[in-house]
Amino acid sequence: MIFVTIFFFDAPGVSWKAVALFILANAYTFLIYIGAFWACSFYRKGFRRWALVPPSLFTLINLSACLAFIRA
């Protein structure tokens, strides 16, 4: 991870699209961790059905991204 960060931010000719893609990919992983935390806290509080929402949402996003990649 540190190597990739150094690679992106030390190169003078890197376009903003590559940097934005790098930040977006890392932010998505962070959002998965937040969703897992929310799911566990919902389950602990007794909201059993709401605990299924974050994992379902991220699965839907992943499947949509895969479908968009296949169609492209």
What does each of the 72 residues of the chain score in pLDDT, given as a tens digit?
555 665 656 666 767 777 777 777 778 788 888 889 999 999 999 999 999 998 888 888 888 888 887 886
Task: Return all residues near 36 (Cβ < 8 A) that are at least 6 apart.
Answer: 54, 55
7 Rama sector, left if φ>0, alpha if ψ -120 to 50, beta otherwise = alpha
52's enclosing H/E stretch is: none
Give me the pLDDT at residue 28, please: 79
Contact present, 22 and 44 (Cβ < 8 Å): no
